[in-house]
Structure 1
Amino acid sequence: MDNMFLNACKNAQKGVIQAFLKKGGITIDKRDSLGNTPLYYVCTKGAKDIVKMLIDAGADVNLANNISETPLHCAARNGSKDVIKLLVDAGADVNASNNIGQLPVFYAVLAYKTETALYLISLGADTTVKDNAGYNILDHATANGMRDLVAVLSANNNTAQKDDHGNTPLHQAVYNNQSETVMALLKAGALNVNDLNNNGVSPLILAINNSNMHLAELLIKNGADVNLHVLNGNSALHYAAGQGNQHLGKLLLNTGADINSRNSYSETPLIVAAQLGYNDFTAMLIENNADVNAVDNDTHSAMHFASERGYTEIVEQLLIAGASN
């Protein structure tokens, strides 16, 4: 009879369940091979009336299955605030962790349930916990582009942590080209726009690497340092030169980028662009008075690389501009 009761709960058959409960003699917390209980299955259906019936009949609201999921995890994933309230009022642990370190609020975020996540937070869900992969709910919300939730979470400095790669939520949002999430993070103002990750890269550099003009502008307007030296001493202009992206190059120059900045190899953006044969980018730098005779640590100039690699147009540009080495 326990198996029939369990099956009725899997299918949320309210009348059948009522009949079994009225007759009595059933195991209210009967588990199947997955460790799931009747209450677990009813929560997956979001059937609040049946949830209340089972709780009133003595169902254990914190009984977890084989992967440590509780009924509250299920309710969070389904976004059923009424079921969540019933469970929590009956003593469900809002911070119960599954076998990969995820609380019910993680399930809400991973299911794109913003209101449910906020409700769980209001009930005491811990927003600072990281799962076994090293991510907290702000990381997941950012990855999912949940801008309203991101705005709330990022306003709380306790959640503005870096992941195991040193990325802030702002790094993640820029990397994923999520402009609305980036705007929410910047508006909240809880994150350092110039933070570097473990690879020595700032959000602005990620925007440049993605050739995302809009995000680059947005970051600069919100305090991104265009002259910050990052990985290998490169500036944002070095990265733009490495792509030959004139639009980004002009943006950086118009917002104060040092046209003759040096990286760890003493290369200027002009040397980088000349090495790669970017004619138009090289011309733009020369027009903006880049030092055409600057040399790197090996005393190699832009002219050296352009002539060695056969970039005739760049050689001509440099000669006209007065390059002498």
Structure 2
Amino acid sequence: MTEPYRDGWIALHEAAYYGQRECIEILLRGQPGMINKRSNKNQTPLFLAVSRCRVDCVELLLENGADPDIPNAAKETPILKACERENPEILAILLNHGALVNKPCTQGWTALHECVCRGNVEICEMLLRAGAKINARNMYGISPLFTASQSGKVESLRFLIKNGADVNTQANDGATALYEASKNGHEEIVELLLSQNADPNLATKAGLLPLHIAAQRGNDGQRLLSNMNYPLCSQSSVKIVSMLIPVTSKARVRRSGISPIHLAAERNKDEVLETLIDAGYDVNATLSEDRSKMYEDRRSTALYFAVVNNNTDATEMLLDAGADPNLDTFSPLLVALRQGCIQTVTLLVEHGADVNAFISTHPTSFPGTVMFCMKYLSLLKYLMDNGCDALSCFQCQYGSNPHPPLKMTRHRDNTDDIGEEPPKVPVQFCEMISADINSRWAGPIIDVLLDYVGNVQLCSRLLEHLDSYEDWAVIKEKSEPPRPLMQLCRMKISGLLGRRRLKHMGTLPLPARLIKYLKHEERNRDDDF
């Protein structure tokens, strides 16, 4: 009867667990000293009776001297377990026998935390009358009000505010109740907190405000919470952002080093992004240096995030709102070219992206844009039509002389090492096109580029490429000077128009046939030239 067996239980544990009141009475008459005997998990018979909601057994044990404050191995007391089971009858019995109402578990969680997160206002009232600390904090600095906001328990929150809970309490990481409600998409909670003067300009230790997290996480948080039987509202983040915008200090946002515009673009929150733009948030806001360094490519603008995500809707929205496509260290146009997305490329070029953008960490003697579209000839032609410098691709320092052996290095067409020290000698076009990944396209690439230059002299390495494949002989012949008069005239007219006008050629007062001629479309037999 007194010898432990499974999990260190004795017969008294068993009787309490299964609600055998008569057995408890018999056992206690024989061994009254065993009433607070603990199992291997530090569970007393009282704790087990509370866990199983055995009201009559709880009463009997307490009347026979059971200690109501002995916790289990996780430091959970019977009173905390009664709150977890949402059993006001047992809670009242424990309180009447002097149970400590503020005794925390291992993580500092109190009985009030427990009943608040379950939305049980009746039990909350019982605990407060018994002396529960309304602003008690667990080991993470989380108060009951913070818990109610985090879990979306509106009635619990109203009760706590009514009884004097601090609406601006901050957890150890600086997060406020308003921040957590915004993060998890609890629209009604946000509205209630703001009505009670919760400060929307208190930042976390990471420098983020409630508006930041609402722009970034609102709907994501709700998807997660929906699996926990919390209501799902797909528009919650937009509504919360709309509530936070008028009360959030833009100066405080700037001080954070990151705009909610960045976060909305990063997470593809297009509706949130539109709301922020309409509210006047700067589409050209740049990340602080410290935040930019968190990304290997040193990105800086919301436009870059949109382009990296291949989000053409967000890209167009930002550009139409005045986003500058040339602010980032690594041009968004280069990203779009690498992705091979003609729609994004077109949007960027039409809004002034530099078609001759270079890569600062990988200097080349020709535009970096050319390097990123060698596999996409239609994009290469589009860039050339819009003023990309083709001539630099044929200006080799070795000319017709033998070239030094190629260094067998990995061809890089990504931005993973954008922060590395740049090489001292710029890479030439003939070297880049000789990389394994590009060499099979050498002939067609050279063929396209020749349409945008006058008389040029191909270097020995380019000639080697053209000689390597029989069908490319016609391209070699095309390159030999003198170039046709029609081509020389085309280059002269294009030069007189200038790059800016070439981008908007369709709007110039030029004859349609001349525009087709300048775009190399006179070869199309369907055109009447």
- Which residue, out of 158, 164, 167, partners 2:199? 158
1:201 aligns with 2:258: yes
- TM-score when normalising by structure 1: 0.80
Aligned counterpart, 2:383: 318
Determine the C-alpha separation between the residues in 1 that align with 2:80 and 2:127.
11
Determine the C-alpha separation between the residues in 2 that align with 1:30 and 1:211.
51
1:113-192 residue pairs with structure 2 within 5 A?
Answer: 113-154=153-194, 156-158=197-199, 160-176=201-217, 178=219, 179-188=235-244, 189-192=246-249
- Which residue, out of 57, 74, 80, partners 1:16? 57
RCO comparison, higher one (Cα < 8 Å, 6+): 1
Aligned counterpart, 1:31: 70
Determine the C-alpha separation between the residues in 1 that align with 2:158 and 2:238.
20
Aligned-residue offset at 1:204: 1.5
SS state at 1:158 partner:
coil
Aligned-residue offset at 1:136: 3.0
Q: Which amino acid aligns with 1:162?
A: A
Aligned-residue offset at 1:251: 1.2
- Which residue, out of 217, 225, 243, partners 2:282? 225
Aligned-residue offset at 1:208: 1.9
Instruction: Rate the CA distance shift 1:297–1:84 in 2: closer, same or farther, 3 A.
Output: same
SS state at 2:247 partner:
coil
The answer (yes or no) to whether the contact 1:29–1:38 under 8 Å persists in 2 is yes
1:53-99 residue CA offsets vs partner (Å, 9 max, x unmatched)? 33233333223344433322222232211111111122111112223
Aligned-residue offset at 1:107: 3.6
The answer (yes or no) to whether the contact 1:109–1:117 under 8 Å persists in 2 is yes
Determine the C-alpha separation between the residues in 1 that align with 2:262 and 2:312.
15
Aligned-residue offset at 1:252: 1.7
The answer (yes or no) to whether the contact 2:342–2:379 under 8 Å persists in 1 is yes
Determine the C-alpha separation between the residues in 1 that align with 2:385 and 2:118.
68
SS state at 2:90 partner:
helix
Aligned counterpart, 2:497: none
SS state at 2:263 partner:
helix
Instruction: Rate the CA distance shift 1:159–1:320 in 2: closer, same or farther, 3 A.
Output: closer
Aligned counterpart, 1:237: 303
1:180-227 residue CA offsets vs partner (Å, 9 max, x unmatched)? 1342232243224682586x4322122222333222212212232112
Q: Which amino acid aligns with 1:186?
A: S
1:279 aligns with 2:342: yes
Q: How many residues align?
A: 318
Instruction: Rate the CA distance shift 1:124–1:300 in 2: closer, same or farther, 3 A.
Output: same
Determine the C-alpha separation between the residues in 2 that align with 1:4 and 1:138.
41
Aligned counterpart, 2:127: 87
Identity of aligned residues (%): 26
Q: Which amino acid aligns with 1:41?
A: K
Determine the C-alpha separation between the residues in 1 that align with 2:362 and 2:142.
55
The higher radius of gyration belongs to 2
Aligned-residue offset at 1:228: 1.8
The answer (yes or no) to whether the contact 1:277–1:306 under 8 Å persists in 2 is no
The answer (yes or no) to whether the contact 1:237–1:257 under 8 Å persists in 2 is yes
Q: Which amino acid aligns with 1:125?
A: A
Determine the C-alpha separation between the residues in 1 that align with 2:83 and 2:305.
51
The answer (yes or no) to whether the contact 1:96–1:103 under 8 Å persists in 2 is yes
Aligned counterpart, 1:74: 114
Name stretches of at least 5 consecutive residues in structure 2 with no aligned partner: 1-34, 37-43, 220-234, 293-297, 391-529
Determine the C-alpha separation between the residues in 2 that align with 1:125 and 1:321.
63
SS state at 2:306 partner:
helix
